[in-house]
Amino acid sequence: MKGSSFDFIIIGGGIVGCAIARELSRYGTKTILLERESDVAMGISGRNSGVVHAGFYVEPGSLKAETNVLGHRMMPKICHDLDVPYREVGKIVVAKNEREIKDLYKLKDNGDKNGVKGLRIIDREEIKEIEPEVEGIKALYSPTSAILDPFLLNVALAENALQNGVRILLNTEVTDIKGNGSFIVKTKRGEFRSEFVINSAGLFSDKIAEMVGIDRYRIYPCRGEYHILDKNRRHLIRGMVYPVPPREPGGLGIHLTPTTDDNIFIGPSAEYIEEREDTANTEEVMERLYAEAKELLPKISKRDFIRSFAGIRPKLIKPDAKKPRDFVIEESIDNFINLIGIESPGLTSAPAIAKKVVEIIKKKKRLKKNRKFNPERKAPVRFSKLSDEEKSELIRKNPDYGRIVCRCETVTRQEIIDALKNPLGAKNIYGVRKRSKATCGRCQGGFCIPKIVEVMEELSHPSIDDLTLKGDNSKLFIGRTKDLRKND
């Protein structure tokens, strides 16, 4: 790989980087994506609500609004082509008092200006029809708001890009970039030359930009904590239920968001923090999330929580700023394209951002269509979603479909094998989790992790140090049972 020359280097394998990779693979280009973690979707893209926003939160005329609305329109076909779960569950934004009702009308106005379809203000009766468990005097109803599986989408974009000729290197952190108009990108695993560099490094996009002397951007990490509710509470809401957003620019208020796996997310919160990688949950916020969620949905209890997590927003504004900032999507210096500050609605916007990046490139370089481009990618079988007859047929052809490894999510041994044999080469528990949903259930891997490790051992005989939770030195074990007492 040393000294290899590319047309495009994409830095960062999150949703934006992988969407760009797929978009570029429509053309005959030599493209490589460099990801520092052991898998794609390990940063912001692996820690969000999975929402496809309709486009009424974003300021009309902004890049956020433009890419949000276009991305929302593109998403159903993309998910269909890439075989990724997508559900138009709808959203209501609930007002509890007069001041909040005023804000609802502002949101609707925003949405109308952005061209969002189907938005309407509904009253208490209709709220009860749509969401019987929710209390509110008025709400904004957005029927086209949707949810998808952000992990599977990120993985699918990467796999489709790979399928169509893009190289993807994991565990490859960029340490320096030299050049202007054509670049040498130095990494922990060698040097790469490229005509263009596309910086989609998420939380570290400011640091990457700095490497080529662009230091006018600074990311202020803003953490959002979440709780995940057990599937047995899924029936409490139909679609997304949000309160009216608070007036301070920070977050959007405590949301209730169903997932495509039938859990419910509570959150996110919004707190500015010092360390951009500090994804810890805190006691105060966890308590607050619970209390606020209980206001919206009195029937939940702490016993229904199966996991909590946190994601970090890459904000371009300081904590005391009055107005939010727009996405940075620009060619900052010759052939160096920056994507900075891609927070919400980043997931929704990703495919549209990719299109914009290609537009920027086309102004500088002729791109020839890739005649072999195939937009479709088939996902591995999800056993739990099949009918009994389909299950039976699969098992009779392959007994590994008859061995359940993850009992909470009904994931079979073959699906674990499929997840481990993924084309990107991610080989840890999180990699299996993203793709197969094993460990995502109420026992959080207590039952299946020993079994997954067994499959890992059989497939690739890894050294014990290579058995990790999420790559790098997140080792699962320190050795064999007797190692601490064995003679050296």
Partner 1 sequence: MIEREVDIAIIGGGPAGLSAAIAAKKSGIDDILLIERNESLGGILNQCIHEGFGIEIFGEALTGPEYMQRFIDKVEQLKIPYMLNSMVLDINEKKCITVCSPEDLIKVKAKAIVLAMGCRERTRGQICIPGTRPSGIYTAGCAQNLINLKNYMVGKKIVILGSGDIGLIMARRFKLEGAEVLAVVEILPYSSGLPRNVVQCLEDYDIPLYLRHTVVDIRGIKRVEEVVIAEVDEKRRPIKGTERRIECDTLLLSVGLIPENELSKMAGVSLDPITNGSMVNENLETNVKGIFACGNVLHVHDLVDHVTLEAELAGESAAAFVKGELRNESNIKVTAGKGIRYVLPHLISGKNDVKFSLRVMYPDRDKKIVVRDGERILKKIPKMRINPSEMIQFNIKKEYLKDVKGLTIELE
Partner 2 sequence: MKKKFICIVCPNGCEIEVRYSEGEIEKISGNLCERGLDYVKRELFSPERSITSSVEVRNGLLPLVSVKTSKPIPKERIFALMDEIANIEVEAPVRIGDVIVKDVLGTGADIIATKNVDKRVQS
Residues annotated as catalytic (active site), given as ranges = 53
- 320-to-250, 261, 312, 324 alpha-carbon distances in Å: 10, 37, 18, 10
| Residue 463 interface partner, choices partner 2, partner 1, none, CB cut-off 5-8 Å depending on type | none
Cα–Cα dist 128/241, whole Å = 12
Q: Which is nearer to partner 2, 463 or 481 (CB)?
A: 481
- Kindly tell me the sign of the dihedral angle through the C-alpha atoms of 126, 127, 132, 136: negative
Select the residue interacting with partner 1 from 119, 266, 306, 353 (CB under 8 A).
306
Q: Which is nearer to partner 1, 167 or 475 (CB)?
A: 475
* E strand or H helix that includes residue 64: helix 63-82
Cα–Cα dist 481/390, whole Å = 41
Residue 445 interacts with partner 1 (CB under 8 A)?
yes
Contact between 158 and 174 under an 8 Å Cβ cutoff? The reply is no
Cα–Cα dist 58/302, whole Å = 33
Q: List the structure tokens of 164.
A: 């169509």
Select the residue interacting with partner 1 from 125, 366, 461, 473 (CB under 8 A).
473
Residue 403 interacts with partner 1 (CB under 8 A)?
yes
| Residue 11 interface partner, choices partner 1, partner 2, none, CB cut-off 5-8 Å depending on type | none
Q: Which is nearer to partner 1, 181 or 298 (CB)?
A: 298
Least Cβ distance, residue 399 to partner 2 (angstroms): 16
Q: Which is nearer to partner 1, 107 or 236 (CB)?
A: 236
**Residues 6 or more apart from 88 whose CB is under 8 A from it?**
76, 143, 144, 145, 146
Residue 308 interacts with partner 1 (CB under 8 A)?
yes
* Residue type at position 481: T
Select the residue interacting with partner 1 from 139, 155, 170, 404 (CB under 8 A).
404
Site for partner 2 in 461-480 (CB under 8 A): 480
Site for partner 1 in 183-242 (CB under 8 A): 227-228
Residue the block writes with tokens 């910086």: 199
Select the residue interacting with partner 1 from 215, 399, 421, 458 (CB under 8 A).
399
Q: List the structure tokens of 7.
A: 């047309």
Beta bridge partners of 314: 221
Residue 474 interacts with partner 1 (CB under 8 A)?
yes
**Residues 6 or more apart from 30 whose CB is under 8 A from it?**
5, 6, 7, 8
| Residue 98 interface partner, choices partner 2, partner 1, none, CB cut-off 5-8 Å depending on type | none
Least Cβ distance, residue 482 to partner 2 (angstroms): 4
Q: What is the dihedral of CA 192, 198, 202, 207, to 10 degrees?
A: 60
Cα–Cα dist 102/106, whole Å = 7
Residue 240: closest CA among 252, 250, 248, 230: 252
Residue 37: burial class (beta carbons within 10 Å; 0-12, 13-18, 19+): buried
Residue 322 interacts with partner 2 (CB under 8 A)?
no
Select the residue interacting with partner 1 from 407, 418, 425, 462 (CB under 8 A).
407
Least Cβ distance, residue 414 to partner 2 (angstroms): 20
Cα–Cα dist 252/484, whole Å = 50
* Residue type at position 59: E
Cα–Cα dist 432/208, whole Å = 29
Least Cβ distance, residue 464 to partner 2 (angstroms): 13
Is there a cis peptide before residue 268, judged by omega within 30 degrees of 0?
yes
**Any idea what DSSP says for residue 257?**
E
Binding mask 408-437 for partner 1 (x = CB under 8 A): --x-x-------------------------
| Residue 487 interface partner, choices partner 2, partner 1, none, CB cut-off 5-8 Å depending on type | partner 2
Residue the block writes with tokens 């073959």: 414
Q: Which is nearer to partner 1, 366 or 486 (CB)?
A: 486
| Residue 402 interface partner, choices partner 2, partner 1, none, CB cut-off 5-8 Å depending on type | partner 1
Residue 443 interacts with partner 1 (CB under 8 A)?
yes
Contact between 82 and 160 under an 8 Å Cβ cutoff? The reply is yes
How many alpha carbons fall within 13 Å on the CB side of residue 290? 15
Q: Which stretch binds partner 1 (CB under 8 A): 64-72, 160-168, 255-263, 390-398?
A: 390-398
Binding mask 427-466 for partner 2 (x = CB under 8 A): ----------------------------------------
Size of the site for partner 1 (CB under 8 A): 59
Select the residue interacting with partner 1 from 180, 372, 446, 460 (CB under 8 A).
446
Q: Which is nearer to partner 1, 176 or 278 (CB)?
A: 278
Cα 225 → chain centroid: 15
* E strand or H helix that includes residue 121: strand 120-123
Select the residue interacting with partner 2 from 247, 369, 397, 482 (CB under 8 A).
482
Residue 369 interacts with partner 2 (CB under 8 A)?
no
Q: List the structure tokens of 180.
A: 């202007």
* E strand or H helix that includes residue 272: strand 271-272
Residue 274 interacts with partner 1 (CB under 8 A)?
no
**Which residues sit at the interface with partner 2, rule CB under 8 A?**
480-482, 485-487
**Which residues sit at the interface with partner 1, rule CB under 8 A?**
227-228, 277-283, 286, 302-303, 305-309, 388-389, 391-392, 395-396, 399-400, 402-404, 407, 410, 412, 442-447, 449-450, 453-454, 464, 468-470, 472-485
